[in-house]
Structure 1
Amino acid sequence: MRGRGGTPVCFPQFGMLGPLPTQHGFARNRGFSLEHKTDSSCTMSLTYDGQGAAGSFPHPFTLHVTTSVEGATITQELKVSNTGSNPLPFTAALHTYYRVADISQARVEGLKGVSYRDNLQQLKEEHEQQDTIRVEGEVDRIYVNAPSSIKLVDEAGKRQLSIEKNGFPDAVLWNPWIAKAKGMADFGDEEYKEMVCIEPAMAISGPVNLDPGATWVAKQSTTASQL
C-alpha cells in the first residue's frame, strides 16, 4: 500500500466522535518513543501534556502501545494513563488493516444479530442479518457491543484470521471501495481489492471518562491459520 497499513492508533478520538476537528484524533500522527523491546515484543509510548498543537484537547495522558508475537498470534495492547488532575474523556480504536488476496473472495463471520451504526447513512442504526458478510461496495460500520471473537476468512489466500478483542466493546468494518479509494492520496486506486479493516474500538459505546491517576487497558489478538 502507498501509505496505509498495519495498525494506526485512533486516539484520543475515534472518527469525529469527540471535540477534535481531526479525524481519529492526533496520536497516529505523533512520534512515539521506544520504551522496551525483546525478540518478540516492543512497547512504544506517547506522552501528551495537554497543550501544544492539540491544545483544543486540554487533557494530559500517557499512551502505551505494546505489540507481541507468539507463534501465529500477534497481540496488540493499548494502555492509557490519565496524568492530569481532571477526568480524561476519550474514544479509541486499533485501526487494523488486513491484507486479503481478493476482497470478492473474503468474508467476515461472527457479527450476525449485532446492531451497527452505518457511517454511510449518518450513523443510522441497523441490525446485521447475515451469518457471512461479503464486502461488495463501500462499507463503514460500527458494530456496537460486538462479540469478542470475529473471523476473517481469506478464501483466495487460503487462510483464516481469528480476531479476539478484550476491553474494546465495539468493532468497525471498513473498506473505501472504488470512488473513495481514488480520492485518498495515500491509498492506491486499486488497493481496496486487497484489504479490509476490522477494528476493535471504544466508539459508540464510549467515551471513557478516566479518573485522574487511573489506567485503562484494552487489547486484540489475531491468529492466522491455513484453510
Structure 2
Amino acid sequence: MNQHSGATSDQKSAIEPTKDRNGVDQVVLRNPRGASARISLHGGQVLSWRTDRGEELLFTSSKAIFKPPQAVRGGIPIFFPQFGNQGSVQKHGFARNKIWVIDSDPPPLNHHPSDSLGKACVDLLLKPSEEDLKIWPHSFEFRLRVSLATDGNLTMISRIRNINCKPFSFSIAYNTYFSISDISEVRIEGLETLDYLDNLCQKERFTEQGDALTFESEVDRVYLSSSNMIAIFDHERKRTLMIRKEGLPDVVVWNPWEKKSKSMADFGDEDYKQMLCVDGAAIEKPITLKPGEEWTGRLELSVVPSS
C-alpha cells in the first residue's frame, strides 16, 4: 500500500499506512493542526479520532479484542447489510468483520458544500466474497471514503452500488462509540418528539417525551426519521459532539448499563460509564437498489466547546 493508492493529500495533510500488533493494515490520517484519525482495513472501521490537542473522541472497550474476524468493540464499526438479527446473515451484517481494500481509483464524488481542499482522506472498497454470496446472494460494491478536514471534522461517505441483475434491500448503521466523561452527565438533543422503537420492549413503538435524552439505565432505541443534526452535550468536558447526516434517517442510541456490561466478554464492567453509542442509520425502511443503482450516505462528526 503506498501513499498514492486511493489516498489523496496536500503537503500539509498526511496519510500514513501502518499495521496493528496483529499485522492488520491501517491508515492514519493527520491534518496540519495535529488532529488525527486511524482507520483499520479490518471492517473499514475508524478506531480513533483525536483533536489537535490529542483528546480521543471515540471510545474503545478496555477489553476490546483486536484479532480478526471479530470486530473491535469501539470506534465506528459499520453494520451492513442488516441491523440486528435476520435470516442467515450474522447479527449486524458482515461488513465489520471483513478485510477491505484500498480503492486505488474511486469514481468521483458529487461535490458537497462542506468539501474543501486540505482534507486527508482514504478510499476503501468492499466486494462480496464467494462465502458472502452464499449467505447474502447479492453482488455489490461498497465504497467508503473517510476524510479528516483542516478543522478536525471527521466525514464518512458510503456509496453502495447494486451490480446484481435483480434489486436488493439493505439496512446500514455507523455504530459510533463516543468517548464521554460520565454517562449520567451527558444529554442528547435533536430527538425530541420523535417516535422510537425500543429494543428492550420487543421493538414496541413509543414517542420521545423529554426535551433532551438523559441516562439512568440501559437504553437501546432506534429513533425514526430524525433531523439531520444531533448534538451530544458533555457538561463535564465542556464540549458538544455534533452529528450531521444525510441519507441516514434513523438514529440508534445505545448504552448497555451495568448488568449487560457484565455479560459481554469484550466489554469492561465499568466501561458503560465512559461511552455512548449514537449511530446515523437507515433501519426502519431498508434501502432498495435496482440493478446499477447507487445509494450515498454521509456522516460528519465535529466537536465544539460548550459550557
2:82 to 2, 5, 13: 13
1:56, distance to aligned residue in structure 2 (A)? 2.4
State the partner residue of 1:105.
185
Aligned equivalent of 1:67, options 141, 146, 151 = 146
Shift, 1:20, TM fit: 3.5
Question: In structure 2, do the counterparts of structure 1 residues 181 and 215 end up closer, same or farther at CA, with 3 Å as the change threshold?
Answer: same
Q: Any conservation in 2 of the 1:72–1:225 contact (CA below 8 Å)?
A: no
Q: CA RMSD in A?
A: 1.6
Q: Output one character per residue of 1:122-145: Cα deviation in whole Å (capped at 9) or x when no partner.
A: 000000011111111110000010
Deviations 1:64-107 (A, max 9, x none): 11111111311111110111111121111111110001111111
Pairing 1:29–2:109 present: no
TM-score, scaled relative to structure 2: 0.70
Q: Quick one: which amino acid aligns to residue 95 of structure 1?
A: N
Q: CA deviation at 1:44?
A: 1.1
Rounded Cα–Cα distance in structure 2 between residues aligned with 1:213 and 1:127 = 38
Q: Do residues 162 (structure 1) and 231 (structure 2) align?
A: no
Aligned to 2:7: none
Q: Is the 8 A contact 1:11 1:26 kept in 2?
A: yes
Q: Please give the residue correspondences for 1:1-227 in structure 2 after superposition, counting only pairs within 5 Å.
A: 1=61, 2-3=63-64, 4-16=73-85, 18-36=86-104, 40-49=120-129, 51-53=130-132, 55-70=134-149, 71-204=151-284, 206-227=285-306
Q: Which structure's CA Rg is the greater one?
A: 2
Distance 1:190 1:54 in 2: 39
Q: Distance in 1 between matches of 2:91 and 2:170?
A: 13
Separation in structure 1 between the aligned mates of residue 104 and residue 259 of structure 2, nearest angstrom? 41
Residue 225 of structure 1, CA deviation = 0.9
Length-normalised TM-score, structure 1: 0.94
Number of aligned residue pairs: give it.
Answer: 224
Kindly state the Cα deviation for residue 166 of structure 1 after the two structures are TM-superposed. Answer: 0.4
5+ residue gaps, structure 2, are 1-60, 65-72, 106-117
Which aligned segments of 4 or more residues in structure 1 are displaced greater than 2 angstroms? Answer: 18-21, 36-39
Identity of aligned residues (%): 37
2-side partners of 1:218 and 1:148: how far apart? 12
Amino acid at match of 1:61: F
**What one-letter code is carried by the residue in structure 2 that aligns with 1:221?**
E
Query: Which of the pair is proportionally richer in strand?
Result: 1
Contact 1:19 1:57 in 2 (8 A): no
Uncovered stretches (5+) of structure 1, i.e. residues with no partner: none
